[in-house]
Structure 1
Amino acid sequence: ALGHHRYEWLYVTAFVAPATGESHWYVGNGVSKPLFERLLALFAREAGAGPQRTIILMLDGAGWHTEPGLRLPDGLRLVYLPPYTPELQPAEHLWRLVDEPIVNQHFDRLTEIQDRIEQRCRDLEAQPDILRANTLFHWWPQPARPN
């Protein structure tokens, strides 16, 4: 008889501003709309979204990212990419950077991977130049400059 395999997963959620390299990283063990709402609220607080700063998030159409019923904190606006266009999502280009410290490595416990990934996220957050180089596409809107 074949045994049942049980897998454990880690999920990394990253928000990045391509023009500045500002980033916010969250590592968890699941995905759901209620969890995503909590992440959005935490991100909005940490990034200073609100009446004085509106942040536009570009998202894919994953079920837990979509409205209706998704509660948004003040200062956040969502824009959805067309289906099947991950190349347009700047954050998609972060995953190879996140994966670098675990590629071709063996780990006995998920907590070892989680520790390594969390450290990598902290390291990347402190390196906005690397994040800009990987997410700031030539067509990305640039901040308005005064004349």
Structure 2
Amino acid sequence: MEAARAAGRRVRVFAYDEHRLGLKPVYRRVWGRKGERPKAVVAHRYRWFYLCTFVEPETGEALSLLVDGVDTEVMSWALREFRGWLGEEEGEVWVVLDRAGWHVSPRVEVPEGVRLVFLPPYSPELQPVERVWPLVNEAVANRYFADLEALMEAVEGRWLVLQG
């Protein structure tokens, strides 16, 4: 990155990760009266979606995309959407991400001006986006959602709040 900056090119660094959310409940501890146990509606259903997020740690600027699954095609699409969101006048952009199979696949189409930088294996603590997921989960914790669309609306609303 220093070489790019020394050459006069602008380099922006973003972190990228996906977070799976679904109809299987997320529970948090809650206060209750002494001697009473709080009750929670439970309906284990295994339908989910992913929140794909690009965050620039330096500025907090972020883009999130809701998708129904992840694979190399979705990863290629997300990178194209990200590049379009930045605009063509943007200089070189580095995206720091983990080594999920759909990230490292040679079938991933990386747009011009985007460079993928991979974290070392087994190092989620180095990924800044990981710190956002507990904040996103607060929108769905201890709540029942009738369908996936209602859950997606709650997550979308929470994301707008987090972006300020």
The TM-score by the shorter chain falls in which range?
0.7 to 0.9
Query: What's the counterpart of residue 11 of structure 1?
Result: 50
Q: Which of the numbers 107, 124, 130 marks the counterpart of 2:162?
A: 124
Counterpart check, 1:70 vs 2:113: no
Q: TM-score of the superposition, structure 2-length normalised?
A: 0.69
Q: TM-score of the superposition, structure 1-length normalised?
A: 0.76
| Structural RMSD (CA) | 1.6
Q: Which of the numbers 38, 42, 61 marks the counterpart of 2:81?
A: 42
Q: Is the 8 A contact 1:51 1:74 kept in 2?
A: no
Matches within 5 A, 1:57-136: 57-125=95-163, 127=164
Give % identity: 40
CA offsets 1:38-73 (integer angstroms, 9 cap, x no match): 11000111022x564111110001111113222111
Instruction: Determine which structure has the larger strand proportion and give its number.
Output: 2
How many residues are treated as equivalent by the alignment? Answer: 121
Larger Rg, first or second structure (1 or 2) = 2
Q: CA deviation at 1:109?
A: 1.2
Letter in 2 for 1:105: R
Letter in 2 for 1:98: V
Query: What's the counterpart of residue 59 of structure 2?
Result: 20
- Structure 1 residue runs of 5 or longer lacking an equivalent are 128-147
Instruction: Determine which structure has the larger helix proportion and give its number.
Output: 1
